[in-house]
Every structure is written in structure tokens, then in C-alpha cells.
Structure 1
Amino acid sequence: MSEITTYYLEMKNVAQLNGKDQPDQLSVVEVENDQFELNRFLYQLVGAQWQWTDKLALSDDAWKHYAEDKNLRTWVAYSQGAIAGYYELSKQDNGVVEIAYFGLTPQCIGRGFGGYLLTHAINSAWGWGGTERVWVHTCSLDHKSALANYTARGFEIYKTETE
């Protein structure tokens, strides 16, 4: 098995954001009614291609507990009526918000959606009252442009781990 490198990135001030404009054919909507089945579906739809496996074995009860946590918020991106991607924000202690999951569906990669969806996620994180730091992690299993998108939007790497 080859080595996997994980990159931890942070943004300590909204002024670091280098946003991208919204493409005409993309809209982003917050999920306001918790549906654990939707969170599980989005995780599988987007994550399958990137080997997201940490939540695959969760029971319905565990998914329900996860999705209904008051410190979790979910947004879904749509293009031409179909799901284009999603992201989840997790509010942690001391004003910290993690972009817990972020990604596009396979058919929407390469269409210029990633930069705007990440901009939306960052703005949503900073807009969540009391936010003082936003962070995210990615790894070498992710899309080849993922790390570049994070740094282009203004995130800075603060830790790297290789397994």
C-alpha cells in the first residue's frame, strides 16, 4: 500500500478568503430539516470516488445522531436540478468551525464548481456566530486539484502527516 499524506489547513480571518464567483448553473441550499438518510446518501455519492470509508459501517441510529447534532450544518449544491456536490460544517469549541466534508459529484468535477462551492462553505463557516478559525483537512487520495483549491481560497497548511 502506498503512503497517504494528510494536509491540515486553516484560515484565521475571513479577510484571507480569495473567493470565486458563482457559476450561473450552480445553486447552493442549506438543509434545514434534518434527514440522516440524506447526509448518508451525500457522503456515499460524493465520497465513493475518494475512498471515504470512515462512516460506511454506521447504523441508522448513529447516522441520525450525527445528522441531528445542533453543531452540524449541511448544504447541497445543485446544477440543472441534479446534486452537484455538498459540504458539512461542524462547530467545535472555542469558535472553531471545521469543513467536515466537502466535494462534488463525479459528473460535476472540472466544470468550475469547486472554487465557488468552497467559497460558499468558507463564507458559511465565518457567518456562523462566534467563528474565530475555520479548518479543513484533505489527503493525497483526494482529487489532484483539491489541495490547490483550498490554498487558492486562502487556507494555509499548518500540519502534514504521512502514513
Structure 2
Amino acid sequence: MQVEVTTWYLEMLDRRQLRPVSPGDYALRIEQAQIPSPEFSRFLYTSVGGDWYWCDRLAWTYRRWLNHLEQSTVQTWVAYISGTPAGYIELEAQPDGSVKIAYFGILKQFIGKRLGGHLLSVGVEKAWGMGANRVWVHTCSLDSPHALANYQARGFQVYKQETHIQDLPDRKTGPWIGAY
């Protein structure tokens, strides 16, 4: 099916723009996945993105995942509640000195529990810690309806907006093909 998709590009030019938020009453632990694991990263990608038409990496082979994760410019930070992954943020240092938030999201069962703002806050701090001269991200109308507001609430500013027609599968894949 074809749908009209709006994409917003957002940036933060100074770490002082970050407006962090606490995790609330949860015993949330955020830890870097330091050992490249294609299985785990694919799990995070499909578990978070399956409900939002994340399709770009579904066809990636094991080798492609591993090559991506082994880059020194890529960091994956995972939020856990009681030992269970609740969400993640993937950061990619760019050749121009900026750091891109490549992927960010919360697993379905943890959405609405006010974890996303805190995970994003920590992720942005980690991006600045990578030596960023700018932190940026893009989100679109296919993502969570809270995504754009969360980025803006943390201090990101929209610097570009585009609209295009995109071909999508007839239905969302969910965390694995055929889940829905």
C-alpha cells in the first residue's frame, strides 16, 4: 500500500539544550551492549520497530549486522527493567563530527510508562560523550505518535521537514514476520 509519510529532521547543537527527565519509579538500568551480537541487535530492532514499519534492516544478513556492530563509531545502549530489555538507542558517529541517533524506541509492553524520555536523555548524554559537535535524529509519521514530541521535549529543534509517498507492506510485521 502507498501512504504519505512526513519526515522531521531534528538537531541539538549544544549539550546544554538537553532537558533530561528521570525514569520515574522504575528500577531502570541502562547499559551499553559492548559485545557485537547480531542476534540481540536484530531482536531489539524488530521488537521495537515491528510496530512502526521499520523495514530497512529486515533483509540484513548476519554478516552485515556483525560488520555494522563491529564499527567503533556505533554504540547500542539498552534499557532493562528487572533484567528484561525495555528499549534501546543506537548511536552512530558521523564523519562530520556529529552523532546520529540511528534507532531509538521502547518495546511495546513498556510504552506509556514514561521510560522513553529518560532513555533518550541518557542516549543524548552518551552521544555528547562520543565527542559530538551536534546530535541529530530523524523521525517520521510512521513512528510512535509520541516520538516527535519526546525529541522536542528533550531539546531537539526541527531543522528540516519532508513529505513523500512510501510503499509499505499491507500490515506491520510485529516483532517477527507473521506476528500480526
Provide the TM-score with structure 2 as the length reference: 0.87
Instruction: Check if 1:155 corresponds to 2:156.
Output: yes
| Deviation readout 1:109-135 (Å, 9 max, x if unpaired) | 000101100101100000113x11000
Aligned residue in 2 for 1:60: 62
Counterpart mapping for 1:8-87 below 5 A: 8-23=9-24, 24-87=26-89
Give the CA deviation at 1:25: 2.3
Letter in 2 for 1:113: L
Output the CA distance in 1 between the equivalents of 2:117 and 2:65: 28
1:126 matched to which residue of 2? Answer: 128
- The offset of 1:159, in angstroms, is 0.5
Q: Partners of 2:144 and 2:76 in 1: how far apart?
A: 21
The answer for unaligned runs of 5 or more in structure 2 is 165-180
The structure 1 residue matched to 2:92, chosen from 90, 93, 100, is 90
Match of 1:4, SS state, is strand
Runs of 4+ in 1 over 4 A off after TM superposition: none
C-alpha distance in 1, partners of 2:115/2:97?
28
1:136 aligned residue: 137
> Per-residue displacement from partner, 1:44-97 (whole Å, max 9, x unpaired)?
111100110001011111111111111100011011221100010000012100
Structure 1 residue aligned with 2:3: 2
Indicate conservation of the 8 Å contact 1:77/1:83, yes or no: yes
Distance in structure 2 (CA, Å) of the matches to 1:160 and 1:87? 22
The letter for the 2-side match of 1:152 is A
Give the length in aligned residue pairs.
162
Determine the C-alpha separation between the residues in 2 that align with 1:63 and 1:146. Answer: 25
* Secondary structure of 1:45's aligned partner: helix
Query: 5+ residue gaps in structure 1?
Result: none
SS in 2 for 1:120: helix
Q: Which moved more, 1:51-60 or 1:29-38?
A: 29-38
Equivalent residue letter for 1:150: Y
CA deviation after TM superposition for structure 1 residue 22, in Å = 2.9
The whole-number CA distance in structure 1 between the counterparts of 2:16 and 2:122 is: 14
Map of 1:116 onto structure 2: 118
Give TM-score scaled by structure 1 length. Answer: 0.96
Q: Which amino acid aligns with 1:136?
A: V
Quote the Cα distance in structure 1 between the aligned partners of 2:120 and 2:62: 29
1:88-109: per-residue Cα shift (whole Å, max 9, x none)? 0000012100010000000000
Higher helix share: 1
Deviation at 1:2, TM superposition (A): 2.5
Contact 2:14 2:133 in 1 (8 A): yes
Distance 1:112 1:78 in 2: 14
* 2:147 counterpart residue number: 146
